[in-house]
């Protein structure tokens, strides 16, 4: 082990020892330490904190967060009836091992990194496949970032990873800003022409230090293949002048306040491939290839803090720093001790995101009810006494509605039957594989998901707010896609409800299938009364009941 590695290990060990010397023992798990850190300094925290969510609420919450859809009605019944003490731990581990988890992370990181912008050079399907397979293999975050920032788009096998740079067309303003926002948690846009006027931490040299990694690179279009890749020149310096002070400056590549990375001595022939017409030039020394190492360096705490903050926001509903890309001294983390703990743990786990997500899911903080105690006063900052509400993403909403109405099950049954018919010998074995089922189902239903993405997705920086628009309301109110799912047929939800002989049975199946919980007495009574008063036939109001549940606030949010 190198001296540098030993010093880093001692530094992170010191953080943990100093903060958790007491009352938590060394054997305490990470998720237990997170809970202790959140309540540190507040003797009333436990008394004021909401109780643990009931099993049905927990199951819906964790299934949505880890697989992007609600649980089946059968799963709700089985999980609630299970008396095992460790059933929540077992369920978290089961979900993390499914192909649906990789698909969920594909959606999350596609939205985070590409922000729903239209395709330019790399098809979205190729990029999304790359992300999904990376999460299926549990590739670690630093490894993924390394690849995304180093590939040049010339090789078909690695070309999808180049989408982050290629689809931004190496435009200095966009690439530099997005590097800062998405990998460092700092929006440096206003530091391009001068030091940021409102954020003292954001300096002009920070912006141009990032830009210097890519200022020599350019897009090259191959005249034969017509495909775009990245070329690079061997020369070019970055200089800047403040429009306010007129002060001039220059910088070599650098990440924020870390040391500059000087160019090595230039050889007599600086190119592997010299610049020429219709030729992609390749220098002996590439500034661009230094970017990935500099961003993911263990000395770059901003990179570590940023992904920790984003995972916390994903699971808890709000970042320790909000907005996620405005990290500075006047906007510090609400719980710096928690941040230090998670950052150290992520480093020790070698940037294993699945490990950190699992530990967050196991915390009492994550598993609290979303209703606060009546006498709890509102705090100036999120203190996580309760579970925060999270609006469903377009993808979560689409898959959850298809799960609730029976579209998912009906489609999968049809795919299995066709596969077995086409391949009687191997079909049954293939259709039993979870990976085949997930892939086949996604391929069959992605157009439905795309309809939700177009309607509910926001291009550009993503917000945790939920603002319903007129076209979204119309899509839910009378859109033909959702209305088609409410027509009774086969074994879909409305068909199953019509077969039930009593109002209470209808209420129970409706609530479990759509809202993933059992109805209370008042809710059961309301369903019975509505069915009894719905025109001439008792079951004529069933599609309307299902629709009302699907568009309710309770369904639209993860709670």
- For 193-216, the pLDDT digits (tens) are 999 999 999 999 999 999 999 999
Handedness of CA 482, 487, 490, 494 (dihedral sign): positive
Statement to judge: residues 67 and 87 lie in one domain: yes
Residue 547 maps to a domain: yes
Q: What are phi and psi of 283, to 5 degrees?
A: -80, 160
Dig out the tokens for 114 from the structure. 């590409």
Q: What is the pLDDT of residue 537?
A: 57
Residues 395 and 376 grouped into a single domain: no
Question: Is there a single domain that holds both residue 188 and residue 239?
Answer: yes
Q: How many domains does the chain have?
A: 3
**231 near 192, Cβ under 8 Å?**
no
Q: How far apart are CA 418 and CA 173, in angstroms?
A: 51
Q: Write the CA distances from 546 to 404, 407, 555, integer angstroms.
A: 9, 14, 11
Least confident stretch, 10-19, 142-151, 222-231, 424-433: 10-19
Nearest to 312 by CA among 348, 366, 364, 378: 366
Q: What angle do CA 106, 108, 110 make, to 5 degrees?
A: 65
Whether 8 maps to a domain, the answer reads: no
- DSSP for residue 122: S
- Residue that is last in its domain, among 296, 313, 340: 296
Domain co-membership, 153 together with 210: yes
State the CB neighbour count (10 A cutoff) for residue 158: 15
Do 383 and 395 lie in one domain? The reply is no
pLDDT of residue 539 exceeding 70, the answer is no
Position 416 in a domain = no
pLDDT of residue 463: 58
Report residue 501's pLDDT band, with 50, 70 and 90 as the boundaries.
Answer: confident
pLDDT number for residue 465: 59
Range with the poorest average pLDDT among 169-178, 366-375, 481-490 = 366-375
Q: Residue range 124-139: average pLDDT?
A: 98
Q: Under 8 Å CB-to-CB from 528, ≥6 apart: which residues? A: 503, 504, 506, 507
pLDDT of residue 437: 98
Q: Is residue 263 part of a domain?
A: yes
Please give the average per-residue pLDDT across 398-408, as a whole number: 98
Does 9 have pLDDT greater than 50? no
Per-residue model confidence as pLDDT tens digits over 455-479: 999 887 665 556 678 899 899 988 9
Identify whether the C-beta of residue 445 lies closer than 8 Å to the C-beta of residue 400. no
Query: Same domain, yes or no, for 159 and 104?
Result: no
- 383 and 502 co-located in one domain: no
Asked whether residue 48 carries a pLDDT value surpassing 90, the answer given is: no
Residues 398 and 363 in one domain: no
Whether pTM > 0.85 for this model: the answer is yes
**pLDDT over 70 (residue 519):** yes
- State which of 296, 314, 332 marks the end of a domain: 296
Whether residues 397 and 544 fall in one domain: yes
Among 265, 296, 327, the domain boundary falls at 296
Query: Percent of the chain having pLDDT more than 70?
Result: 91
Residues 367 and 333 in one domain: yes
pLDDT at 23 over 90: no
pLDDT of 543 reads 94
Question: How big is the chain, counted in residues?
Answer: 559
Q: Which helix (H) or strand (E) holds 172?
A: helix 172-184
Asked if the structure places residue 282 within a domain, the reply is: yes
pLDDT band at 532 (very low <50, low <70, confident <90, very high): confident
Q: Which domain holds residue 547?
A: 391-402+442-558
| Band (381; pLDDT cuts 50, 70, 90) | low
Closest C-alpha to 478, from 375, 373, 551: 551
Q: Is the per-residue pLDDT at 523 higher than 70? A: yes
534: pLDDT strictly greater than 90: no
Q: Is the peptide bond before 170 cis (omega within 30 degrees of 0)?
A: no
Q: pLDDT band at residue 22, thresholds of 50, 70 and 90? A: very low
Q: Are 92 and 361 in contact (CB under 8 A)?
A: yes
Give the mean model confidence (pLDDT) for residues 390-414. 97
Q: Is the pLDDT assigned to residue 3 strictly greater than 70? A: no
**Structural domain includes residue 364:** yes
CA distance 479 to 454: 13
Same domain, 363 and 449: no
CA distance 247 to 410: 67
How many angstroms separate the Cα of 230 from the Cα of each of 151, 171, 176, 296, 340? Answer: 9, 12, 16, 21, 37
Whether 378 and 476 map to the same domain: the answer is no
Please give the DSSP secondary-structure letter assigned to residue 187: -
Each residue of 278-337: pLDDT tens digit? 999 999 999 999 999 999 999 999 999 999 999 999 999 999 999 999 999 999 999 999
């Amino acid at each position: 082990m190198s001296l540098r590695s030993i010093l880093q290990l001692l530094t992170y060990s010191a953080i943990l020892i100093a903060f958790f010397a007491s009352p938590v023992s060394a054997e305490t798990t990470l998720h237990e330490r997170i809970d202790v850190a959140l309540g540190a300094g507040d003797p009333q925290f436990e008394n004021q904190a909401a109780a643990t969510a009931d099993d049905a609420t927990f199951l819906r919450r964790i299934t949505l967060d880890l697989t992007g859809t609600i649980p089946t009605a059968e799963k709700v019944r089985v999980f609630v009836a299970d008396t095992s003490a460790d059933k929540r731990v077992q369920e978290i581990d089961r979900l993390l091992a499914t192909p649906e988890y990789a698909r969920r992370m594909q959606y999350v990181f596609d939205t985070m990194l590409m922000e729903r912008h239209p395709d330019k050079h790399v098809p979205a399907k190729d990029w999304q496949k790359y992300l999904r397979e990376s999460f299926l293999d549990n590739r670690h975050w630093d490894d993924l970032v390394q690849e995304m920032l180093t590939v040049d788009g010339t090789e078909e096998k690695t070309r999808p990873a180049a989408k982050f740079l290629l689809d931004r067309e190496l435009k200095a303003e966009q690439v530099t800003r997005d590097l800062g926002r998405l990998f460092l948690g700092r929006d440096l846009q206003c530091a391009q022409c001068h030091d940021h006027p409102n954020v003292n931490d954001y300096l002009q040299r920070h912006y141009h230090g990032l830009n210097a990694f890519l200022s020599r690179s350019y897009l090259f279009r191959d005249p034969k293949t017509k495909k775009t890749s990245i070329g690079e020149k061997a020369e070019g310096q970055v200089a800047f002048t403040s429009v306010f002070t007129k002060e001039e400056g220059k910088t070599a590549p650098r990440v924020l306040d870390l040391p500059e990375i000087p160019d090595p001595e230039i050889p007599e022939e600086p190119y592997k491939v010299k610049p020429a017409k219709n030729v992609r030039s390749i220098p002996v020394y590439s500034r661009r290839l230094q970017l990935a190492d500099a961003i993911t360096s263990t000395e770059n705490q901003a990179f570590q803090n940023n992904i920790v903050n984003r995972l916390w926001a994903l699971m808890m509903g709000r970042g320790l720093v909000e907005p996620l890309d405005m990290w500075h001294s006047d906007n510090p983390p609400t719980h710096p001790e928690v941040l230090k703990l998670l950052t150290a743990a992520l480093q020790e786990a070698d940037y294993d995101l699945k490990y950190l997500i699992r530990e967050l899911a196991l915390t009492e903080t994550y598993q609290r009810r979303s209703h606060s105690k009546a006498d709890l006063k509102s705090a100036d900052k999120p203190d996580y006494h309760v579970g925060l509400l999270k609006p469903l993403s377009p993808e979560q909403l689409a898959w959850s509605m298809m799960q609730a109405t029976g579209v998912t099950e009906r489609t999968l049954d049809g795919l299995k039957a066709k596969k077995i018919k086409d391949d009687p010998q191997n079909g049954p074995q293939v259709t039993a594989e979870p990976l085949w089922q997930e892939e086949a189902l996604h391929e069959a239903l992605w157009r439905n998901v795309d309809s939700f993405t177009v309607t509910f997705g926001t291009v550009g920086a993503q917000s945790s707010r939920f603002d319903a628009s007129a076209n979204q309301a119309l899509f839910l109110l009378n859109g033909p896609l959702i209305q088609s799912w409410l027509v009774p047929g086969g074994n879909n939800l409305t068909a199953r409800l019509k077969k039930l002989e009593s109002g209470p049975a209808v209420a129970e199946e409706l609530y479990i299938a759509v809202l993933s919980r059992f109805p209370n007495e008042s809710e059961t009574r309301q369903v019975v009364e509505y069915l009894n008063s719905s025109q001439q036939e008792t079951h004529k109001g069933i599609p309307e009941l299902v629709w009302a549940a699907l568009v309710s606030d309770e369904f639209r949010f993860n709670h």
